[in-house]
Chain A
Amino acid sequence: MDVFLSYPNTEKPLAEALRRKLEDAGLGVFVDTASLAPGKEWQRELEKGVESAKLFLVLIDPERPPSRWQQAEWQAALETVWKDPSKRLVPVLPRGAEVPAFARSASGGRDVRALRLDDENDLDSIVRAAKELIDGPRFDAHRERTSRSSQSLGGEDPDTGGGGRMPAFGGLGSPDATRTSDRGATYARRDREERRERLAEIRRFAEELKK
């Protein structure tokens, strides 16, 4: 299996269209854990699906929180990518969706990638990006390098210096490399601030316990 495609029910038509395109391009796609036959041990089936996948494409609903099924898929995908960093987790962002925190956690904030999906015309670009991510040197050499089709948001990777590379696929905001880099830096800055605030909140609670 090449691609594990996770999607919310609300985006089913888009996900179906993407699945067809990926399969037409010769990629094997695991999709829709929720449709597993009743009585099947879904956790085992899900594990099989994620273990065999090389790339996780996660379609995000910008308007609604994820269902339990989708959370379970994200969880399994995250664990797999953490275990084997040669696999990639890439969010697909329709209608201006933000890169969700869990997708930035997949690489610990390093070399975060995302694919924008504004309309069906973007599907071909996503398929090209998926093929490059799967076939690229990263999967042969376990190096975090060189996909030109997906959008790198930079993040905190010391190797990239926090800057993104010029995407062949028009991604978030603008295909302009400077703005892409800005977006990656914005996420990294926001992540650091949120983390600092959250730890301060836990510390305040601890201080209250002391009194």
Chain B
Amino acid sequence: MPPTRPRTGAREHLGQGRFALDPSRAVFINCPYDAEYQATFDALVFSAVCCGFTPRSALETRTVADARIDRIVEAIFASKYSIHDLSRCRGEGSEMLARFNMPLELGIAMARRFMDRKKRDRHDWLVLVPEGHQYVRFVSDLAGFDPMRYDGTTEAMVPKVMSWLATRPETLRTPTPSNVLAALPRFRAEKDRRQADWRGELPWVDLLIAAIEISESLP
């Protein structure tokens, strides 16, 4: 097979070309985006920034015309790390339908790790499940990749995520989870303020900037 040549005139995507970001400092966030999960989502994004990692998400380029799955694959492949919360992979609503977006994105991250198998810098992920969650059983089949259990609260999730990020090789000296949890209300207030400016459609950029500004004040 001939070597792949760059496509002439191909549009640059985030994580490529001038948008290049060091993948070893990027973490893809795979979680629900609805109102029920909002508090946990905010805490995930804020914790990642406080630990010095750039959060990536399917939300960051939501106005781009590319297929959503393409954007997700690109963001995962441009991130050395990913965090997957499988807590909402259960039957919901009158038809008891389960959301498969999260397991699908975990599968993409696993494929990326598999493709990296000869590299020193392999993709690495954290899987979060609530205490007693049935997925503990099947995900624990992945020896060495056991999911982290938490009780579904932000207070329990933040230390899990921070301890994982704080023990990756590219980490910085982080604040403590107490510092981060104490600053979370300020982050949420700043996010809400910006959200109101955007009439509820807060761009990912503004979410990141809010997280940076609040985290700058942490010890």
User: At the interface with chain B, which of A7-15, A72-80, A142-150?
Assistant: A72-80
Docked complex Cα distance between A207 and B60 (Å) = 12
Docked complex Cα distance between A156 and B177 (Å) = 17
Interface size range of chain A in the complex: 35 or more
Interface size range of chain B in the complex: 35 or more
Say if the beta carbon of A141 comes within 8 Å of chain B: no
Query: Contact at A75–B167, with CB atoms within 8 Å?
Result: yes
Query: Contact at B175–A108, with CB atoms within 8 Å?
Result: yes
With contacts A104-B173, A108-B175 taken as known, whether A205 is within 8 angstroms of B166 at the C-beta atoms is: no
A-B contact count (CB 8 A): 107
Query: Contact at A202–B49, with CB atoms within 8 Å?
Result: yes
> Cβ of A66: which chain B residues have Cβ within 8 Å of it?
167, 169
Docked complex Cα distance between A209 and B20 (Å) = 11
Q: Give residues of chain B (153-170) contacting chain A, Cβ–Cβ below 8 Å.
A: 159-160, 162-164, 166-169
Query: Contact at A41–B19, with CB atoms within 8 Å?
Result: no
Min CB distance, A168 to chain B, in Å? 26
> Cβ of A210: which chain B residues have Cβ within 8 Å of it?
203, 205
Q: Give residues of chain A (5-59) contacting chain B, Cβ–Cβ below 8 Å.
A: 41-43
With contacts A102-B171, A195-B172, A202-B54 taken as known, whether A75 is within 8 angstroms of B144 at the C-beta atoms is: no
Docked complex Cα distance between A79 and B212 (Å) = 24
Say if the beta carbon of A208 comes within 8 Å of chain B: yes
Docked complex Cα distance between A199 and B60 (Å) = 18
Say if the beta carbon of B38 comes within 8 Å of chain A: no
> Cβ of B178: which chain A residues have Cβ within 8 Å of it?
82
The residue among A69, A79, A104, A107 with the most chain B CB atoms within 10 A of its own CB is: A79
B204's closest neighbor in chain A, by CB? A209
Docked complex Cα distance between A34 and B44 (Å) = 29
Q: How does the 8 Å CB contact mask read for B32-48 relative to A, with 1 for contact and 0 for none?
A: 00000000000000000
> Ordered nearest first, which 7 A-B pairs have the shortest CB separation?
A198-B52, A191-B173, A104-B173, A108-B176, A206-B208, A105-B174, A75-B163
